[in-house]
Amino acid sequence: MSAIPFDQRDGEIWFNGEFVAWQDAKVHVLTHGLHYASAVFEGERAYGGEIFKLREHTERLIESGRILGFAVPYSADEIDDACTALLHRQGLGDAYVRPIAWRGSEMLGVAAQNTRINVAVAIWQWPSYFDPAQRMRGIRLDMAEYRRPDPRTAPSRAKASGLYMICTISKHIAEAKGYADALMLDWRGQVAEATGANVFFARDGALHTPLADCFLDGITRRTIIDLARRRGIAVHERAIMPEEMATFSECFLCGTAAEVAPVTEIGPYRFTPGELCRRLVEDYAAEVTPKRLAAE
C-alpha cells in the first residue's frame, strides 16, 4: 500500500452531500466524534467496479448510528449512490470504501444532542489479495489480553469507533511480537474474534464459529456461512472455549478487509490450512467477483 499519509492524497471525498477535494475534507479539533468517539463507520470493498454487499453495509452504518443515539441524515439510497458515484469519480475498480458518520462541534460535553451528524465517504485503491497459493501459507495470531466486552457494557452490535480502542492496542502488541494479528476472547472467556475479522475453525469436514452475541456479526461471516451451507458443509455457531482450539485442524479469519485468511497458529495452538480453507478462499473470491466479469 502507498505510504502517502491519508490526509495528503489526491482525488475527492464525499462530505455531507458534496464531492470535495480530498485534502479539503477536514474537521475541527473540537469535534465531538474525536473527543468522545461518537462515530460509526463501515469498511467495504469494491471488486471490478462494484461494491460487494453495499446495501448491507449502508444499512449497518445507519443501524450503528441508531444504536449510538443518532439518525444518519441520509437515506440508504443516498448513501449507496454517494459510494457508487465516488467509486466512478475516483476511477477505481478494486478499492476500499470507508463511509463514516460522526457528531460535530456544536456541543463538546458528554451530552451532545444538538450536534450535527456529519457523513463522509472516502475510497482508495486497494487491490484484492486473492492469490490462493499466497493465502494458503496462513498467518500467525497472538492471544490478546483485552476481551470483547459484555453487551451490557458496550454497544457491541454497532460498528462504532470506540469499540476499536482495544483492537488497536491488541494489534499493536501482537505486531510488536511478530504476529499478524491477535485473537480476542469475550468477557466470559469464550473465543470471540480477531481485532478486525471474525474467526472460523474446521474439524472433520464441518465448520465451527463463535456465536456473534457480543461482537460484530460480520457481513463476510454471514457470506461464509451461506457459501459453506450451499456446499453442504455443516456450520455450527456456538460457544467455543479456548482449550477447544487444540481439537481443530483448520482455522481462518474472514472480514471485508481480510477476505478469507487461513491461520496457522493462535498462541499455543497449531492449524494446517487444508481443503476447507482452500474451498472457502476460492468460493469467496468467486462470490465477490461481479457477475459480468465472472462470465468473461
Give me the active site residues, please: 159
**Nearest by Cα to 191 from 260, 138, 263:** 263
Region binding ligand PLP by CB under 6 A among candidate stretches 94-102, 123-131, 190-198, 274-282: 190-198
d(CA 141, CA 143): 7
- Based on the shown chain and the rule CB under 6 A, indicate whether residue 218 belongs to the binding site for ligand PLP: yes
- Based on the shown chain and the rule CB under 6 A, indicate whether residue 196 belongs to the binding site for ligand PLP: yes
3-state secondary structure of 229: helix
143: cell is 492471544
Region binding ligand PLP by CB under 6 A among candidate stretches 75-83, 138-146, 172-180, 219-227: 219-227
- Based on the shown chain and the rule CB under 6 A, indicate whether residue 99 belongs to the binding site for ligand PLP: no
d(CA 280, CA 228): 7
- Based on the shown chain and the rule CB under 6 A, indicate whether residue 198 belongs to the binding site for ligand PLP: yes
Supply φ then ψ for residue 186, to 5 degrees. Answer: -100, 180
Supply φ then ψ for residue 103, to 5 degrees. Answer: -80, 140
- Pick 65 or 196: Cβ nearer ligand PLP: 196
- Based on the shown chain and the rule CB under 6 A, indicate whether residue 216 belongs to the binding site for ligand PLP: yes
- Pick 105 or 170: Cβ nearer ligand PLP: 170
Q: How many residues bind ligand PLP (CB under 6 A)?
A: 13
Closest residue to ligand PLP, judged by C-beta, is 218
Which residues in 39-98 contact ligand PLP (CB under 6 A)? 43
Rounded alpha-carbon distances, angstroms, from residue 288 to 21, 224, 227: 30, 11, 12
